[in-house]
Amino acid sequence: MARISMPSAMSSFVAITRLVGIRDNAVASVSFPFDDKQYQQRYCNEMGINHVIFERDLGLLFRRDALQLTLQAEAGNPKIELIKEVLPEIANLDFVTQLYDEVLSALPHKQATLKYIARKMVVSERTLQRRLQNSDDGLRGVVSRIRMHLARRYLQDKGMNLVAVSLLLGYSEQSAFQLAFKRYHGMSPGKWRKDNTEC
């Protein structure tokens, strides 16, 4: 098996950042732990970087503004766009994606609680609460919005009755789902389905 040197791996990493949408001049400088001008120049040419620093560690220094750009991989991703629509106030994409997935899997088992979701995300309940402080009503509000979004999707499937929808969303009773849906949307699930599905 061929070995890949650290400078080669680093130049490959720079190429990948450009591939996923980080701009060409995102890397401000590169540091080398050895003072070999010819060697340094070779890798700098590969990476398109002019500024070299002689330091103890091999490394890359990125421009701050470049790291705040949206990756192209997000664009057009239906799941990412959906999560941003349902939970727009949470900026950390990795966090909100994991949160969405954990709530989604917990709902049918009636386990979408602060204690359970925090444990699944491997954070303390206090940390999860803090990270949701910008969300209306914290985790309860997040769960409610995810539930209602899923409810609308499920209701568009005419083959799924209200009992099945209620169970998938973690409601013990169909009446509890109907009450929550009407409170959120201002109409019953049956009326919403009638108004939003083709005959």
DSSP string, 68-117: GSPPTTTTT-HHHHHHHHHSTT---HHHHHHHHHHHHHHGGGT--SHHHH
- Number of domains comprising the chain: 2
| pTM of full prediction above 0.75 | no
132: how many CB neighbours lie within 10 A of its CB? 23
Quick check: is 177 in a domain?
A: yes
Chosen domain end from 43, 68, 93: 68
Measured on CA atoms in the order 93, 146, 169, 199, is the torsion positive or negative?
negative
Quick check: is 124 in a domain?
A: yes
Helix (H) or strand (E) holding 125: helix 125-131
Quick check: is 53 in a domain?
A: yes
- Do 92 and 17 lie in one domain? The reply is no
- Do 83 and 64 lie in one domain? The reply is no
- Do 47 and 16 lie in one domain? The reply is yes
- Do 101 and 28 lie in one domain? The reply is no
DSSP bridge partners of 62: 27
Helix (H) or strand (E) holding 54: strand 52-54
Quick check: is 73 in a domain?
A: no
- Do 137 and 53 lie in one domain? The reply is no
- Do 115 and 89 lie in one domain? The reply is yes
- Do 40 and 96 lie in one domain? The reply is no
- Do 126 and 64 lie in one domain? The reply is no
Cβ atoms of 152 and 196 within 8 Å: the answer is yes
Chosen domain end from 20, 47, 68: 68
Beta-carbon contacts of 121 under 8 Å, excluding residues fewer than 6 positions away, are 98, 99, 102, 128
Q: How far apart are CA 34 and CA 75, in angstroms?
A: 40
Res 72: pLDDT: 42
Quick check: is 11 in a domain?
A: yes
- Do 96 and 23 lie in one domain? The reply is no
Query: Which backbone phi and psi does 32 adopt, to 5 degrees?
Result: -120, 140
Cβ atoms of 96 and 83 within 8 Å: the answer is yes
- Do 41 and 117 lie in one domain? The reply is no
Chosen domain end from 16, 46, 68: 68
Helix (H) or strand (E) holding 137: none
Range of the structural domain that residue 17 is part of: 6-68
- Do 52 and 89 lie in one domain? The reply is no
Quick check: is 60 in a domain?
A: yes
Res 169: pLDDT: 92
Cβ atoms of 43 and 21 within 8 Å: the answer is no
Res 4: pLDDT: 38
Residue 48: alpha-carbon gap to chain centroid: 31
Helix (H) or strand (E) holding 59: strand 59-62
Quick check: is 1 in a domain?
A: no
- Do 32 and 113 lie in one domain? The reply is no
Beta-carbon contacts of 141 under 8 Å, excluding residues fewer than 6 positions away, are 135
* Tens digits of pLDDT across the chain (199 residues): 333 355 555 555 555 455 444 445 566 666 666 666 666 666 666 556 655 555 566 666 666 655 554 444 444 566 777 777 787 877 788 888 889 989 988 998 999 999 999 999 999 999 999 988 887 778 999 999 999 999 998 999 888 899 999 999 999 899 999 999 999 999 999 999 999 887 5
